[in-house]
């Protein structure tokens, strides 16, 4: 029995138990011994912190936060920090393990980590948000650092929150430590190219699978769920590579444009209307019918768990590229596999963001800012190599791309763990 971060809610879906079972299954597929599997599954460090904040009213409010390092076998921990009312230790632990796998899949020298505070940030003033962030950063400071664990933005955290964390850690040390977080503004050690890197990675994976399947980009109709930080740049990036985006959904609804969406007209429409709904000459469709529209490629880029059994049964596309984290349920994945629909899994497809973070961190350590061309060339190379390796191994292992990706991640973590041995 593997140690669980918490014993709460044993009868409900538990993300930690889910990721545990994925790693264990991969370990068995690879023939790893039980002791090694236990070491790989179990998080190395779990820090729970109390975060007292003086509110603008003068009252003190208490919040709770976590930072979890799942694995540092391959390098310092890497993973975002989220501020959300539903944050709990099992969720953060599961996400930290996902990061270990994701970094190993794209073969960057990082382990996996994740952090969060249980808070509704929309209820805080900017000054309260800054005090919350700085107190949390102070509390996790002993655990983070450029050579230990490097946080990044996640749900409800952004470049400003990263700036406050970087500043707090730097003030404690008495000198600047830009490499302690990634996703920073350019002015304080961020990198050119970071914005849009996840979408670029999704696009590279989409082009790569088309190439492997011998399909022409110009013959592909794409539907995208989500028009946010990841979904919006995809419309242009995919169109630039010759594909036709025929459907998009956001929280307000979905549209169908059989002739293809013009990325510039869409961007202008969205700027004015605040939604994709009402795009000129589009047909409005029910949001839950997006994936049934005649299409070849489906890209979920919004929420987790949307491709369930029912959506998988009616999925029109023959390729799914998972831009969102965890968009397909376990049963949904089984249905897609049984229908012969190829799925590029999230740990590979949306890893462009963490690769960009790696490049930002490398530049901070070097004290040398790369040109955008160098950034884009290296991102393309890293994502292509990762995709090609997973594709080749999935043919050898004869399992899905998702099972292969998790197995490759586990295999690389296992190799590092074994090489390093067991201290003491």
User: How many Å apart are CA 43 and CA 68, to the nearest integer?
Assistant: 7
Identify the residue among 77, 151, 190, 226 touching ligand NAD (CB under 6 A).
226
H or E element, residue 81: strand 77-84
Interaction of residue 325 with ligand NAD, rule CB under 6 A: yes
User: How many Å apart are CA 411 and CA 104, to the nearest integer?
Assistant: 9
Q: Which of these, 206, 66, 80, 201, lies nearest to 140 by C-alpha position?
A: 66
Which residues on neighbouring strands pair with residue 114, listed in sequence order? 68
Q: Pairing relation of β-strands 77-84 and 112-118? A: parallel
User: How many Å apart are CA 28 and CA 155, to the nearest integer?
Assistant: 33
Task: Give the nearer residue to ligand NAD in terms of CB position, either 287 or 416.
Answer: 287
Interaction of residue 287 with ligand NAD, rule CB under 6 A: yes
Task: Give the nearer residue to ligand NAD in terms of CB position, either 27 or 231.
Answer: 231
User: How many Å apart are CA 137 and CA 132, to the nearest integer?
Assistant: 9
User: How many Å apart are CA 137 and CA 168, to the nearest integer?
Assistant: 7
Interaction of residue 303 with ligand NAD, rule CB under 6 A: yes
Identify the residue among 215, 229, 378, 384 touching ligand NAD (CB under 6 A).
229
For residue 184, indicate whether it is catalytic.
no
Which residue has its beta carbon closest to ligand NAD? 228
The interface with ligand NAD within residues 179-198 (CB under 6 A) comprises: 198
Task: Give the nearer residue to ligand NAD in terms of CB position, either 317 or 323.
Answer: 323
Backbone angles phi, psi at 238, to 5 degrees: -70, -40
Q: Which member of 78, 114, 184, 244 is catalytic? A: 114
User: How many Å apart are CA 106 and CA 279, to the nearest integer?
Assistant: 37
Site string for ligand NAD, 341-380 (x = CB under 6 A): ---------x--x---------------------------
Taking the complex as a whole, the smallest distance from the CB of residue 392 to ligand NAD amounts, in Å, to 24
The interface with ligand NAD within residues 241-270 (CB under 6 A) comprises: 249-251
User: Contact residues for ligand NAD (CB under 6 A)?
Assistant: 198, 225-231, 249-251, 287, 301-304, 323-325, 350, 353
Point out the residues that are catalytic: 114
């Amino acid at each position: 029995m593997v140690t669980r971060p918490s014993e709460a809610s044993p009868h409900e879906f538990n993300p930690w138990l889910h990721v545990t079972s994925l790693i264990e299954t991969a370990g068995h597929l690879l023939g790893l011994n039980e002791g090694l599997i236990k070491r790989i599954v179990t998080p190395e460090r779990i820090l729970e912190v109390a975060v007292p904040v003086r509110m603008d009213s003068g009252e003190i409010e208490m919040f709770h936060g976590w930072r979890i390092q799942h694995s540092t076998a391959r390098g310092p921990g890497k993973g975002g920090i989220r501020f959300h009312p539903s944050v709990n230790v099992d969720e953060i632990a599961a996400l930290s393990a996902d990061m270990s796998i994701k970094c190993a899949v794209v073969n960057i020298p990082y382990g996996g980590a994740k952090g969060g505070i249980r808070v509704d940030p929309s209820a805080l003033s900017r000054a309260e948000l800054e005090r919350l962030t700085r107190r949390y950063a102070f509390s996790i400071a002993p655990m983070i650092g450029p050579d230990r664990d490097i946080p990044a933005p996640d749900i409800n955290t952004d470049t400003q929150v990263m700036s406050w964390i970087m500043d707090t850690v730097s003030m404690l040390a008495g000198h600047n430590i830009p490499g302690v977080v990634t996703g920073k503004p350019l002015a304080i050690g961020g990198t050119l190219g970071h914005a849009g890197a996840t979408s670029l990675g999704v696009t590279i994976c989409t082009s790569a699978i088309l190439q492997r399947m011998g399909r022409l980009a110009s013959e592909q109709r794409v539907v995208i769920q989500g028009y946010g930080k990841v979904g919006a740049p995809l419309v242009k990036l995919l169109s630039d590579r010759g594909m036709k985006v025929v459907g998009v959904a956001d929280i307000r609804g979905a549209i169908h444009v059989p002739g293809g969406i013009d990325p510039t007209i869409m961007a202008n429409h969205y700027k004015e209307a605040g939604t994709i709904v009402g795009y000129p000459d589009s047909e409005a469709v029910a949001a839950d019918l997006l994936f049934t529209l005649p299409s070849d490629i489906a890209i979920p880029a919004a929420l987790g768990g949307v491709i369930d059994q029912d959506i998988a049964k009616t999925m029109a596309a023959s390729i799914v590229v998972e831009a969102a984290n965890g968009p397909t349920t376990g049963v949904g994945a089984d249905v897609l596999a049984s229908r012969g629909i190829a799925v590029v899994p999230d740990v590979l497809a949306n890893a462009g963001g963490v690769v960009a973070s790696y490049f930002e961190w490398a530049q901070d350590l070097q004290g040398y800012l790369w040109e955008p061309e160098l950034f884009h060339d290296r991102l393309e190379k890293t994502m292509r190599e990762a995709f090609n390796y997973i594709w080749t191994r999935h043919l050898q292992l004869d399992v899905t791309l998702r099972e292969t990706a998790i197995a490759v991640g586990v295999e690389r973590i296992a190799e590092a763990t074994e090489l390093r041995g067991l201290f003491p």
